[in-house]
Structure 1
Amino acid sequence: MTTEQPDSIRDEVRRYLAGHLDRQVSDDVDIFAVGLVNSLFAMQLVTYVERRFGVVVETDELEDLRNFCSVDAITDYVAGKTASPVE
């Protein structure tokens, strides 16, 4: 796992979503609420996050779609998972 900067995470997630949704979305738009994604894409998104950022999405985190509903939410989630622990 690497420590990622939030701006870098945000840029990566924006590109990924734009490429798969064929449109740009504002960072705060809930992509589930506005109907831009289905359950299959939700799983693809989780797989992308795990592979690209080297994190493991736990079952309880998967059950809370708020972690993956927008660019902002994904950025916060990944930044939290990749943050260096405070010693």
Structure 2
Amino acid sequence: MNEIKTKIKTFLARFFGNHDLEQDEDIFALGFVNSMFAMQLVLFVEQEFQITIENEDLEFENFRTINSISNLVERKSTVLAPR
């Protein structure tokens, strides 16, 4: 697991108790996510990875799994990377 996924899993684990979340497990389908948690997740991603989540990024698909969140971070970080 890469560093981005490890940080995301560590953050999510604080809220999911004893559930060992898999990288491709749907956190919405598991019933762990409410609107307040979704806002906390977006804020965590922005602060932890120094990226800005735009309105067009706020789709369930971008936040459904550890893998999808990691992919979003990588896409946003690539855009910001100096050329």
What's the TM-score bracket when you normalise by the shorter of the two chains? 0.7 to 0.9
Deviation at 1:65, TM superposition (A): 1.2
Deviation at 1:19, TM superposition (A): 1.3
Structure 1 portions without partners, runs of 5+: 1-5
Task: Map residues 50-61 of structure 1 onto 2, 5 A cutoff.
Answer: 50-61=46-57
Name 1:37's counterpart in structure 2.
Answer: 33
Asked if structure 2 preserves the Cα contact closer than 8 Å seen for 1:50 and 1:57, the reply is: yes
- TM-score, scaled to structure 1: 0.84
Distance in 2 between the 1:29 and 1:39 partners? 19
Deviates more, 1:73-82 or 1:14-23: 14-23
Asked if structure 2 preserves the Cα contact closer than 8 Å seen for 1:17 and 1:24, the reply is: no
Asked if structure 2 preserves the Cα contact closer than 8 Å seen for 1:67 and 1:74, the reply is: yes
1:20 aligns with 2:6: no
Distance in 2 between the 1:24 and 1:36 partners? 13
Structure 2 portions without partners, runs of 5+: none
Asked if structure 2 preserves the Cα contact closer than 8 Å seen for 1:14 and 1:24, the reply is: no
Deviation at 1:21, TM superposition (A): 1.5
Distance in 2 between the 1:24 and 1:55 partners? 27
1:65 aligns with 2:69: no
Sequence identity percentage: 36
The amino acid that maps onto 2:62 is N
Task: Give runs of ≥4 in structure 1 deviating > 4 Å.
Answer: none
Note the aligned Cα RMSD (angstroms).
Answer: 1.5
